Amino acid sequence: MDETPTPSRAWEVFRAFLVQGLTAFGGPVAHIGYFRREFVERRGWLAEPAFADLLALAQFLPGPASSQLGMAIGLRRAGYAGLLAAWVGFTLPAGAAMIGLAYLTPYLQGGWGEGVLHGLKLAAAAVVAQALVAMARTLAVGPIRAGMAIGAALGLFLQPGPVAQILALIAGGLFGLALLREPAPVEPDDPATQAIPPAVSAAALTVFILLLGVLPFLAAWLDAPLLGLASVFYRAGALVFGGGHVVLPVLQQEVVRRGWLDQQSFLAGYGAVQALPGPLFSFAGFVGAAQQVAPGGWRSGVVSLVAIFLPSLLLVVGVLPFWDRLKTRPGARGALAGVNAVVVGILAAALWNPVLMTSIQRPSDWLLAIGAYVFLVVAKLPPWLVVLGSAAIVGLLRR
């Protein structure tokens, strides 16, 4: 890269994402709202269109979208060190908690705990709604963009799923290419990011493919259970579209079906990770530490965490520079504007399902969710305070 980021800037990225890892409850869709508020509105690290560009790229790539978005923001801010700092900061709290909880699954149930989890979901709905309104005002303006956003939302409402999301993004790009013309920016969003050498990008993509093909054979040849565990989690992180909610049933097939972990422990860990801030992919730390095929404990948990996130790191480094060069062309800018409009529709569909569908269980839940939204938008309270307050209130009500 043309500029060498200072260690202080990478440390700044780590601290900022560590706060997100400690406070960003609600799953990958809610994380988008937290990131936008923190890095666009409060810190001003990137503009709204640049944030939408990275979000569109994260939606296209397999793996955890919110973590990939965070990696890209870190790369924008402080280069390769910033990418690693963003991932470590955002993943560390939940990953450490899940590894620590690996042997405490019998204590993960109870009325109060279920109430806290429900309160977190209601607060997440408010965070997503706030992000949706703000992004629609910027990215879905005008009849064409608004129509594309509404069409995407309706389509995904009728036919949800990661495949439908990818098809909607492709359709948005095609419609944007045909109907929208956006001038290229006077200066690129981040010259340092665009200056990543092509050899580095090509090497990252090559390693991504090689590990996908070689790890299973290497694990079988060496008869190394820990390497086999890494292979399973790497494959899950590399091939799953749709984020954390989709990778969990995939891991259930891989882990429970093979007898590595019993169903009850798996589901208890699944419930626990939903109650934690940070990425849902941190569930890998729990499975790695609790499984019974490889040496258990924190080492296996760390190996599983690194393996499931490594594909995302390689893809961000490999794809982002090409994405940046492509989007400076007027036709590509139009296509990207269409994709960004569709992202608004995707977020609207996700607000309904799974966020509201899994959060609203009774009429009073609407009042609690609306109250959380008012505290965010009108009172302008910090998201972490609204989230924790909502969890505490609902937890106390359900004792």
* Helices 28-35 and 111-139, axial angle in degrees (round to 10): 50
Q: Across the chain, what does the average pLDDT equal?
A: 81
Q: Tell me if 104 is assigned to some domain.
A: no
Place 117 in a pLDDT band, splitting at 50, 70 and 90.
Answer: low
**Within-domain flag for 302:** yes
The reported pLDDT for the residue numbered 128 is 76
Higher pLDDT, 42 or 256: 42
Higher pLDDT, 340 or 238: 238
Q: Kindly report, residue by residue over 267-279, the tens digit of the pLDDT.
A: 667 666 766 788 8
Tens digit of each residue's pLDDT (9 = 90 or more) over 238-285: 877 555 655 665 676 677 777 788 766 776 676 667 667 888 889 889
49 close to 262: Cβ distance less than 8 angstroms: no
Structure tokens at 247: 């990778």
Please give the full DSSP string across 185-205, using - where no structure is assigned.
Answer: PSS-S-HHHHTS-HHHHHHHH
Which pLDDT band holds residue 399 (cuts at 50, 70, 90)? low
Judged by DSSP in three states, 211 sits in helix
Compute the distance between CA of residue 20 and CA of residue 22 in angstroms, rounded to an integer.
5
Binned at pLDDT 50, 70 and 90, residue 189 comes out as low
- List, in order, residues 6 or more apart from 316 with CB less than 8 Å away: 61, 68, 71, 72, 75, 83
Q: Which of the four pLDDT bands, split at 50, 70 and 90, describes residue 139?
A: confident
Q: Which domain holds residue 342?
A: 1-99+110-399
| Rounded distance between C-alpha atoms, residue 208 and residue 61, angstroms | 13
pLDDT at 274: 65
What torsion do the CA atoms of 92, 93, 95, 99 make, to the nearest 10 degrees? Answer: 130
pLDDT at 110 over 90: no
- Provide the pLDDT confidence category of residue 296 given band limits of 50, 70 and 90: low
pLDDT-derived band of residue 290, with 50, 70 and 90 as boundaries?
Answer: confident
pLDDT value at residue 374: 92
Per-residue pLDDT at 226: 87
Report which residue type is found at 276.
L
Mean pLDDT of 102-127: 69
**pLDDT over 50 (residue 362):** yes
Residue 9: alpha-carbon gap to chain centroid:
23
Token representation of residue 264? 């009850």
pLDDT over threshold 70, residue 179: yes
pLDDT at 321 over 90: no
Residue 105 is assigned to a structural domain of this protein = no
Query: pLDDT above 70 covers what percent of the chain?
Result: 83
Most confident of 26-30, 84-88, 327-331: 84-88
pLDDT tops 80 at residue 302: yes
pTM to 2 decimal places: 0.73
| pLDDT level of residue 165 (50, 70, 90 thresholds) | confident
For the chain, what is the domain count? 1
Residue 107 has pLDDT above 90, yes or no: no
How much is the pLDDT for 30? Answer: 80
Residue 134 lies in a domain: yes
Q: What is the mean pLDDT of residues 75-88?
A: 93
Please tell me the predicted confidence (pLDDT) of residue 350: 78
* Residue found by looking up tokens 């909610």 in the block: 245
Kindly state whether residue 370 falls inside one of the protein's structural domains.
yes
Which H helix or E strand runs over 23?
helix 7-23
The answer to whether residue 308 sits within a structural domain is: yes
pLDDT bin (cut points 50, 70, 90) of residue 177 is confident
